[in-house]
């Protein structure tokens, strides 16, 4: 993951910081920063750009050291006090919906909430950038997203600022093709908000992570990307233990250390 020391460091990586870390091991985030509070490499040369936890609430252990990206994960974040937290925060970017096709949210409902509340109140009034729904990279996800984008695209200023994308596999070239196809289909810059190899082979996972990071760093139309995931235990049986960025003791894994490198 080499970078020319004479060139500016590409800052696109978002730390996917699970909520259980805030509950159980908040100080472990300090591994990303040096004693002065800056990223381990100076803040302007760290490859990490932001932090995201799939929630509306700010992780207090972050302490302002990197920008936070809150999420409207379900309708609950629209109809409760969580909406106020997001609206009134200083967050410059907000994620909208996490694999909604798997949560029983229709694209019609999602487009209605988006056009009537999310865009007017967060982008038009508050100037926040909006990441559109991130669906799974399968047929159901692609179909859901196509319907949503068609609905919001009929409204002036209805499109997201960034297209949300999720991708999981072990095939490097397929990953590149799929991610590229999403940009070409919708003509928007991407926020690849979840990505990981699902291979159980550590060497394959490291190669996939390193090579795809280098490739995404080189695509002007990819704004941010987040490797899944920084948590002490695998979220489910689908994700690979070899792709974990934190071990069960709360220490960053060698793969996470690789992602922290700038040279």
Hey, what are 172's tokens?
């490097």
pLDDT, mean of residues 135-163:
97
Q: Is the dihedral of CA 177, 182, 187, 192 positive or negative?
A: negative
pLDDT, mean of residues 243-262:
94
Residue matched to tokens 């399968």: 138
pTM above 0.85, yes or no: yes
What is residue 230's three-state secondary structure? strand
Which residue, 18, 21, 13, is CA-closest to 209?
A: 13
Given this model, what pLDDT does residue 261 score? 87
Sheet strands (E) in the chain: 13-16, 48-52, 68-69, 71-72, 93-96, 129-131, 162-169, 189-197, 222-227
Ranges of each domain in the chain: 13-260
What is residue 172's three-state secondary structure? helix
Above 50 in pLDDT, residue 2? no
Mean pLDDT for the chain overall: 93
CATH architecture of 13-260: Alpha-Beta Barrel (3.20)
Hey, what are 251's tokens?
């220490």
- Residues 135/99, Cβ–Cβ less than 8 Å: yes
Given this model, what pLDDT does residue 32 score? 94
% pLDDT > 70, the chain: 92
Residue 263: pLDDT band by 50, 70, 90 thresholds? very low
Q: What is the phi/psi pair of residue 171, to 5°?
A: -105, 105
- From edge to edge, which strands make up the β-sheet containing 13-16? 68-69, 48-52, 13-16, 222-227, 189-197, 162-169, 129-131, 93-96, 71-72
Which residue has better confidence, 229 or 88? 88
């Amino acid at each position: 993951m080499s970078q020319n020391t004479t060139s500016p460091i590409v800052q696109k990586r978002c730390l996917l910081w699970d909520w259980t870390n805030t509950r159980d091991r908040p100080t472990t985030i300090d591994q990303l920063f040096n004693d002065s509070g800056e990223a381990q490499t100076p803040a302007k040369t760290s490859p990490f750009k932001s932090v995201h936890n799939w929630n509306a609430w700010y992780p207090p252990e972050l302490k302002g050291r990197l920008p936070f990206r809150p999420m409207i994960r379900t309708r609950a974040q629209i109809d409760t006090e969580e909406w106020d937290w997001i609206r009134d925060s200083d967050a410059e970017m907000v994620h909208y919906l996490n694999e909604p096709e798997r949560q029983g949210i229709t694209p019609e409902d999602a487009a209605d909430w988006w056009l009537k509340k999310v865009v007017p109140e967060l982008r038009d009034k508050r100037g926040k950038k909006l990441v559109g729904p991130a669906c799974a990279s399968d047929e159901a996800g692609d179909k859901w997203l196509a319907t949503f984008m068609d609905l919001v695209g009929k409204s002036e200023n209805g499109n997201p600022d960034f297209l949300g994308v999720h991708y999981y596999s072990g095939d490097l070239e397929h990953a590149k093709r799929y991610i590229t196809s999403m940009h070409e289909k919708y003509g928007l810059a991407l926020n690849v908000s979840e990505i990981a190899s699902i291979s159980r082979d550590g060497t394959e996972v490291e190669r996939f992570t390193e090579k795809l990071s280098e490739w995404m760093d080189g695509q002007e139309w990819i704004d941010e990307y987040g490797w899944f995931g920084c948590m002490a235990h695998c979220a489910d049986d689908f994700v690979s233990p070899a792709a974990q960025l934190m071990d069960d003791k709360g220490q960053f894994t060698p793969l996470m250390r690789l992602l922290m490198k700038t040279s």
